[in-house]
Each structure stands twice: as C-alpha cells, then as structure tokens.
A and B are shown apart, each in its own frame.
Chain A
Amino acid sequence: MKDISQYIELFRTERALLDSHSQALLNAHRDEAAEAFMRLGFPSRKVERYRYTDVAEAFAPNYGLKLDTPPAAMNLPEVAATRYGTLANVQNDAITALNTMLVQDVIVIYVPADQRREHPVQLTNTLRSSVPLMQNRRLLIIAEAGAEVQVLQTDKAEGGQDFLTTQVTEIFVGEGAHVEFYDMEDSHSRCHRFHQVYAQVAAGGHLTHTTFTLASGLSRNQADVRLVGQGADALLLGCAITDGQQHVDNNTLIEHIAPGCTSRELYKYVVDQQSSGAFAGRVLVRQEAEKTDSIERNANLVCTEQARMWTQPMLEIYADDVKCSHGSTVGQLNNDALFYMRQRGISEAEARMLLKQAFASEVLAAIPLEALRQRLHVLVEKRFRNCEDCKLCQKNNR
C-alpha cells in the first residue's frame, strides 16, 4: 500500500497557501477530511470498490500543487454552503477524503426552480505543466425543482508530463428537475484521473450521467446515484477506448430508495493492445423501492490476447415487486465479419476499425444531447484511426 505521508506532509506544509487561495467553505472541511484520510489510507485491492485498480501506482510520482492562482470567485452562493460535502462520502472513501483535504477550487452550477438553461454549460480543463502536477477540484451542480441543465466537462492535457487529477462532483436533482452531465476525457497516457460522482435524484427528477474515456493513462470513475423520490429516473452511459498500457475502471452504485424509480445503465469498452478495463456496477434496491425498473448492461470487446477486461454486474434486491436485469459480455472481433469486409476490398486495419466503431456506436446513439452525439462519432473514429500515429502512445508502448 502506498504511504500516505507524502500527501499528509504536502497538506501540512501548504495548508496556509491552500486556505488563502480557496473559499472559506472549502477550508472548513479540510480538517475532517484529513482525519478520515489518515484513518483510511490509500485503498488497497482488498477494498471491494478498488479491487480492479492499483491506486498506489497513480500516486507514486512526486506531484506538485499549483497554489498561486486564486479562484474565479471568492464568494460562493449561499446555497452552495448548504449542499457542499453533503453527498460526498468523506468518511468511507479515501479518494474523496484526499480531494476534500487538498481541494483547490470549486465550480458551482446553480439553476433556480423552474429555470431552464437553453445551452449546455461546457467546462474545459486543459492540463499543462513542466513538472509532475496534481490538481484537486470540485464540481457542485444544483438543479432546483423543475429546473433543467446540461453540463459537459472535457479533460485534455498538453505535453508528456505526469498529471494526477482528483475530482469530486456532487449533483442535486430536485423534484421534476432534469440534469444531464457529460464527462469526457481525452488526455494522454501519463494522465491519471480519479473522479467520484455523487448524485441524488428527487421525485420525478431525471439524471443522465455519461463517462467517455477516449484517451488517458489511468482513469477511475466512480458514480453513486441515489434515487430518493418516487418516480426518479437515471440513465448512466459509459464508453472506454483503451490501448497501450491504459487502464480504465468504472465503478457505479445505483441505489433505488424510493418506489417506482427507473434506472438504465450501459457501459461499453473496446480494450486493445496491453490495456485493461474494469466495470463493476451495483444496483441496490431497498425494501421500500417497490416497482423498481432497472436494466444494467456491460459489453466489452477485447481485441488482443494481452488485453484484459474485468466485469462485475451486481444486483441486490430487498423489495418484492421489481423488474430488474443485469448482464455482461466479453468478446472478440467477429472473424466472419472481418473476412466478409476484406473480400470486398477493405484492408484488415480498416475493417477492424469499422467493427470497433460499430461496437461503440450503440452507446453514442443513446446520448440525449444531439450535438455531442454527432461530435463523439467523429472523435471516436478519429481516436480509432489516430492511435497508431499518436507519438505519446508509441513512446509508451515500446
């Protein structure tokens, strides 16, 4: 297990700088988080939800923190204080505790009752540094009753430096509110990212949460969605395209607490070369959650002998009258289809590319935001075509 002292030390020495460059709300939670982090330590593979990812490896480089940039706004809206940290599980999740301890900034997206954002809010994070860099960020999305908002977050990185990102996102979907959160990572093989999403959906509310990993080094995305009001509804979509030494781990928990809620979950992976993927999705139906309707599916394409995929769909039901299903598949490219295409004159590389793209297209087709759907079709094709040309991948593969 990775020694946490490096990060505790970092926190102690930089505490004053952190505090002076952050909002009081963030500072108020640091001590409690540090205590929890010291108690929990970095999760080993014996911790159930972290069994598929070697956390220590990601935290090994000697990262620096960039502390001289003040946040965009020192004064947070009143509503942020009442919600910040109320969903995030600081006491039991070490990465959430670490993030809360070292957090540098928070973005708050607040949509008052019955207001509707006509255009999506787009957040673009671009990492650029000459030394190994760590960043710890927060996102707080609050949609009051009847509000509607779409948020798109994109992660990019420039230059071949080691980067480590921790992010905690808390999403509050009010009664009858509608929130779509799109998380897209298109970085490079030396980027490590841990993203913990905590969402709560009130009665009649809807949440779409999608995670697209086009390129990264190590990505671990965790999503905990609580359906707390009658008729709440969640759609979770994910797609990961991995190659080289890449590792992508999506870990989800959908908790049906109120009756009559619906959840749909579809994650697809295309795992190539020596890369690995993991998906663990737990659907927990509480005793009161009668008339739950839940479908969970994970499908994976493993392209080489060396590529690895772990999949673990879990269904835990304590109510009597529910309609739930879960399933997962792991397969290879269809050789008959490959040969059929080659007979028509399509090269092997192109045929493989078309089949991979076709496999991923099912998740893309399910994306509610049309402009993003079309854009992702292009990006996915580009990703499949370019990966052999990408200098960074090549450097790390050989």
Chain B
Amino acid sequence: MLEIKNLHATVSGKEILKGIDLTIRPGEIHALMGQNGAGKSTLSNVLVGHPAYTVTEGSVTFNGKDLLALSPDERSHEGLFLSFQQPVEIPGVSMANFMRAALNAKRKYLGQEPLDASSFLKLMREKRKVVELDSKLANRSVNEGFSGGEKKRNEIYQMAILEPTMCILDETDSGLDVDALRIVAEGFNKLRTPETSAIVITHYQRLLDYIKPNFVHVLLGGRIVKSGGPELALEIEQRGFDWIKEEIES
C-alpha cells in the first residue's frame, strides 16, 4: 500500500534523506530505529507533507496514488496518520470542535454526509474508552494543559476516531511511564484491523514488546542500512548501533 522509492529530502537546504527505499503492505508493522539525527522524524514529516521539508528526488505511492502530489489534509483523508512526537497545544479550540472538523472533512472527501452532533458525541464517548481518557476531555482545548501521557493517549484517541489505514507512531513511547505506555500501545492494538499498517519509530524495545513488528529497519545517515525481523530490534537493544556502522564500513 505504501511504496517509497529513492526518496531524497532536504530541510533548510540540508539533505537529510539520501535515498530511502521502503515498501509496506497492508497489515504490516515496520519498526524504524536509528540514532538521533539519522532521519527518522524527517521521513515521517515528509510522508505527511510538512511544509518545512522539500523532496528533491524519488517517489512515494500510497494506495496507487502519488502521495507527494497531495496536500497534508488530502493525505490524511487517504488514511495516513501521524502520532506526533510532540503533540501541539491549541488553546481555544476544543477537542470536540477539532475532531468534528477533522472527521467531517474526511467524510466530505469520501463523499459522505457530515455526522450530526449527537452521533458525533456518541462516537467520541465510545472511542474514549479505547485509551481510558477523561470524559471532561471534549470540552478542553486540544492538548492544553495535558500531561505528557495524556497527550500521547490523545493521539491514539484521534486515531480511533479517524480510523486511518497507515499509522506513523513517532516516538510515541517517549516520556511515558510503564502504565501509560501499556495503555497507549494496547489502545493502538485494539484499533488495528488486519489491513492497518504502521511505521513505528522508537529507540527502545519496550514499545515493540506490545506492538510487534514484522520488520525492523535501521536508518543511518539518511538511508536504510540494515533490515531484518523482530530479532534485529532485540540485538540493537543489547549491542547498540556501533556494530552496524562497523559492518557497513567494512
């Protein structure tokens, strides 16, 4: 469903991605690992169309469409979802208004009628249970005053409402204690369908204990330098990245 070919991208004129090739089929979970600055977050930002990043070469096809030709909101409607590493606080915009605008934009794109207020509130109530979020949430401003854990749970909550087919979890485990990590990861697993694919960006094995990857890739200097099964993540957990660097250099 997602096919990345020879992807090069720059930010502020500096080349960060130097030829990424990656194919993800429906239902597959791909873990993306690598040291800070390797290009993991750049890849996720490029995929969702962040305006600060410029694609200089290569192509990305999503569900047969040229992903790079779509606007960020169209990519979202097509089923692409990014769980932000640092979710943004938006004072004055309530969660309910935010999610209703997002969901109805998607429904319009898909040629569906907008959801009426009561059906929408019912949907919000149902989906809240997935990540055990507080009921007062609907009236609160988006992420404003949320704790680190609440922000990450709120990302998964938004995922539950929008039902994306391709999820990018960008360090969703960062800043979470063990209980919050479990709630977030289990929330994601509950939402998964056999068709849901994901790119899981993480530094640690502990998230992959919950969200089990089919493939693990190591990103270094803007390229995928090593790919393997779940055992590769375990090996990195024990040995770090230096042995992979040495392997490439030799």
Contacts and interface: CB of A to CB of B under 8 A. Distances in A.
B48 A358 contact: no
Interface in B46-92: 48-51, 71-73, 75-77, 81-82, 84, 87-92
A54 B100 CA distance: 44
A344 B102 contact: yes
A341 interface: yes
B98 A344 contact: yes
A355 interface: yes
B241 to A, nearest CB: 29
Interface in B189-225: none
Interface string B78-115: 00011010011111110001110111011001000000
Nearest to B87: A340
Nearest to A344: B102
B92 A343 contact: no
A354 B101 contact: yes
B105 A339 contact: no
A361 interface: yes
Nearest to A340: B88
A355 B73 contact: no
B68 to A, nearest CB: 15
A348 B49 CA distance: 13
B158 interface: yes
B51 A345 contact: no
A340 B84 contact: yes
B106 A340 contact: no
B48 to A, nearest CB: 5
Nearest to A362: B92
A125 interface: no
Interface in A331-379: 334-337, 339-348, 350, 354-355, 357-359, 361-362
B130 interface: no
A206 B219 CA distance: 65
Nearest to B78: A345
A346 B90 CA distance: 14
A354 B103 CA distance: 15
A343 B48 contact: yes
A336 B162 contact: no
Nearest to B77: A345
Chain A interface size, as a band, is 20 to 34
B82 A343 contact: yes
A342 B73 contact: yes
B91 A358 contact: yes
A85 B76 CA distance: 62
Given A339-B50, A340-B84, A354-B97, A345 B102 contact: yes
A335 B73 CA distance: 15
Contact of A345 (B87, B106, B142): B106
A366 to B, nearest CB: 13
Contact of A347 (B105, B141, B162): B105
A359 B73 contact: no
B172 to A, nearest CB: 15
A335 B76 CA distance: 18
A346 B50 contact: no
Nearest to B143: A340
Contacts of A345: 73, 76-77, 102-103, 105-106, 109, 162
B171 to A, nearest CB: 16
Given A339-B72, A340-B87, A340-B88, A346 B93 contact: no
A232 to B, nearest CB: 32
A336 B92 contact: no
A348 B109 CA distance: 15
Nearest to B161: A344
Task: Indicate the member of A335, A341, A344 with the most B CB atoms within 10 Å.
Answer: A344
A189 B212 CA distance: 61
A336 B101 contact: no
Task: Indicate the member of B51, B93, B141 with the most A CB atoms within 10 Å.
Answer: B93
A79 B88 CA distance: 57
A358 B82 CA distance: 24
A344 B142 CA distance: 12
A357 B90 contact: no
A339 B73 CA distance: 9
Interface of A: 334-337, 339-348, 350, 354-355, 357-359, 361-362
9 contacts: A335-B51, A340-B88, A341-B90, A342-B71, A344-B162, A345-B103, A354-B98, A355-B90, A357-B93
Interface of B: 48-51, 71-73, 75-77, 81-82, 84, 87-93, 97-99, 101-103, 105-106, 109, 141-142, 158, 162
Report, nearest first, the 9 A-B pairs whose CB atoms are least far apart.
A358-B92, A345-B76, A344-B102, A342-B72, A340-B88, A358-B93, A345-B102, A345-B105, A337-B90
